[in-house]
Amino acid sequence: QKEVEQNSGPLSVPEGAIASLNCTYSDRVSQSFFWYRQYSGKSPELIMSIYSNGDKEDGRFTAQLNKASQYVSLLIRDSQPSDSATYLCAVSNYGGATNKLIFGTGTLLAVQP
Amino acid sequence: DGGITQSPKYLFRKEGQNVTLSCEQNLNHDAMYWYRQDPGQGLRLIYYSQIVNDFQKGDIAEGYSVSREKKESFPLTVTSAQKNPTAFYLCASSMVANQPQHFGDGTRLSIL
């Protein structure tokens, strides 16, 4: 079992729709969770951090964390073609088994105009 | 302007050659990291440093070396022992080890 799992996609949504990206993790002691956006050929850019159960909203982005079920999700409202990118989930495992930030392989999002 | 600067943007390595990738940050971050990304794959940790003059191996350290003589600098050397060096190399930093990491623009390394 991978430590951080994401569906590779592509996830295709029409412009204006809600895109829902999901991530599961294996280590229960994980404390911090991050979403990065990576455009093709570019470096990852941090878009959201979440540390406690529940929802965290920032503009069109909402991160959701459920530690009991060991999943974290990212919702993108009113999706735009400029949101088309790979979204990486990262889980902080400091103090846990591997003591580092662990990245998933990413979900490719394609927003259709 | 605070940020992380990686250079060069593109680099070509000849057979048997060592090459060094530069990473400089002016964010006053303690922790710095090197990752490798291959097409269609996730980030794999090569080396990391949580403080000056100290660094630890990541998951794929073989064939690579680093130094951390200054807080703002964390160069990565890809040695001739790394037989498959073609990849996108990303340097990152964070205030301390468990804080969000921020990335430079990356260096693309290819072999001639």
A34–B100 C-beta distance less than 8 A? yes
Q: Is A2 on the interface with B (CB under 8 A)?
A: no
Q: Is the pLDDT of residue A100 over 90?
A: no
Q: Is B38 on the interface with A (CB under 8 A)?
A: no
Chain A residues in contact with B103 (beta carbon < 8 A): 43-45
Residue A62 or residue A1, greater confidence? A62
B98–A88 C-beta distance less than 8 A? no
Tell me what pLDDT residue A95 has. Answer: 67
pLDDT tens per residue across span A2-24: 789 999 889 999 999 999 999 99
Distances (CA, A) of A49 to A33, A36, A58, A91, B68: 6, 9, 10, 10, 28
pLDDT tens per residue across span A43-99: 999 999 999 999 999 999 999 999 999 999 999 999 999 999 999 999 987 766 566
Q: Is B100 on the interface with A (CB under 8 A)?
A: yes
Chain B residues in contact with A29 (beta carbon < 8 A): none
How far is the C-alpha of A83 from the C-alpha of A86, rounded, in Å? Answer: 9
Q: What is the mean pLDDT of residues A103-113?
A: 95
In the chain, the amino acid numbered B58 is G
Tell me what pLDDT residue A59 has. Answer: 97
Residue of B45, B100, B102 lying closest to A100 (CB–CB): B45
For chain A, list the strands marked E by DSSP: 4-6, 11-14, 19-25, 32-38, 45-50, 54-58, 61-66, 71-76, 85-92, 101-103, 107-112
In angstroms, how far is CA A108 from the centroid of its own chain?
Answer: 11
Q: Is A32 on the interface with B (CB under 8 A)?
A: yes
Question: What dihedral angle (degrees, nearest 10) is formed by the CA atoms of A26, A84, A108, A45?
Answer: -40
pLDDT tens per residue across span B54-69: 999 999 999 999 999 9
How far is the C-alpha of B93 from the C-alpha of B64, rounded, in Å? Answer: 18
Q: Is the pLDDT of residue B112 over 90?
A: no
Chain B residues in contact with A88 (beta carbon < 8 A): 42-43
Chain B residues in contact with A89 (beta carbon < 8 A): none
Tell me what pLDDT residue B96 has. Answer: 85
B100–A49 C-beta distance less than 8 A? yes
Q: What is the mean pLDDT of residues B43-63?
A: 94
pLDDT band at B39; cut points 50, 70, 90? confident
Chain A residues in contact with B101 (beta carbon < 8 A): 34, 46, 90, 101
Weakest mean pLDDT among A63-67, B74-78, B96-100: B96-100
Give B73's DSSP letter: B
B94, closest residue in chain A (CA to CA): A101
Q: Which two tokens stand for residue B28?
A: 């006053």
B103–A44 C-beta distance less than 8 A? yes
Q: Is A88 on the interface with B (CB under 8 A)?
A: yes
Q: What is the mean pLDDT of residues B28-36?
A: 95
Strand partners, A57: A62
A6, closest residue in chain B (CA to CA): B42
How far is the C-alpha of A7 from the C-alpha of B88, rounded, in Å? Answer: 22
